[in-house]
Amino acid sequence: MKRAVLVTGGNAGIGFALCRQLAAEHNCTVYMGARNAERGKLAIAKIKDAHPKADVKLTIMDVSSDESVSAAAKTLSDIKLYAVVNNAGVGLGSAASVGQLIETNLFGPKRVTEAFVSNLDKKEGRVVNVSSGVAAMWLRDKSDAIKNMFTNADTTWDELKSVVAKLAPTSSRGGYGISKAALNCLTLQQAKKWPNLTITALTPGFINTRMTKGYGAKLTPEQGTVSMIKCLFGKVTSSHYYGSDGLRSPLTVTRDPGMPEYGGE
């Protein structure tokens, strides 16, 4: 059966690698989310040049904009989706302000998921939130109260939003770590809200993309899709967070590939 998957930020980096793999190797219809039509068309052409039968369609969408996401959802209103991959993000080397970073990395996955949740298969549907190991780096030194808030499914959206607004302006790495820690918490909230869906978060690893330029990342975007593919098609548990090797990882301590799989609650 051919499955339809929406990938935000799909025209470059890890998102592009995932779109190519889904269309060429997993027999999926891919809706490639891109902010810019020209860049999106070039990315699709690149995939089709290498894989003429690839079924990839452009979806113009800026995840930081309510209007843009709503327009994209309207365009795809009749499409039944197997999965939504919230891949679009900014940070590390980005010149984005803290506000822009939070709007994209945290509010973006929230608005996209809510806009497309009605499109998702009611029994098999999946949501994959692309987080980062930097989330645990930020959270590991915080107070027990903050750790509990960011790792508890009972934390409300308003509580999460409030503490992010308070802490983000002075957080390390321009707010990148807290934005991804909050995304992990959002994943817990979403999994609780939609128990019929499989909703997970993951880190792709330290991948050499435009976002990490100058930071010494050496893994290719193609190597950054391991946990994405696992969370899309493998045996995973909703609400859990997975490492770059596809194994479950903790939210408050970094776990590198090769270390034992996390088995906590």
According to the model, what pLDDT value does residue 181 have? 98
Asked if the model's pLDDT at residue 56 lies above 80, the reply is yes
DSSP state of 213: T
**Percentage of residues in the chain having pLDDT higher than 90:** 85
**Lowest-confidence region among 8-22, 87-101, 126-140, 142-156:** 87-101
Higher-pLDDT residue of 87 and 212 is 87
- Residue matched to tokens 């994943």: 187
Q: At what angle do helices 13-25 and 37-50 cross, to 10 degrees?
A: 40
Structure confidence at residue 93 as a pLDDT band (50, 70, 90) = low
Written in H, E and C, the secondary structure of 141-202 is CCCHHHHHHHCCCCCCHHHHHHHHHHHHHHCHHHHHHHHHHHHHHHHHHHHHHCCCCEEEEE
Mean pLDDT of 31-56: 97
Asked if the model's pLDDT at residue 94 lies above 70, the reply is no
According to the model, what pLDDT value does residue 58 have? 98
Q: What is the pTM of this model?
A: 0.94
Mean pLDDT of 233-259: 95
Q: How far apart are CA 260 and CA 121, in angstroms?
A: 33
H-run or E-run covering 113:
helix 108-116
Judged by DSSP in three states, 34 sits in strand
Contact between residue 32 and residue 56 where contact means Cβ atoms under 8 Å apart? yes
Contact between residue 129 and residue 105 where contact means Cβ atoms under 8 Å apart? no
According to the model, what pLDDT value does residue 209 have? 56
Q: How far apart are CA 140 and CA 134, in angstroms?
A: 10
In 3D space, the residue among 52, 62, 56 whose CA is nearest the CA of residue 44 turns out to be: 56
According to the model, what pLDDT value does residue 258 have? 87
Structure confidence at residue 40 as a pLDDT band (50, 70, 90) = very high
According to the model, what pLDDT value does residue 95 have? 59
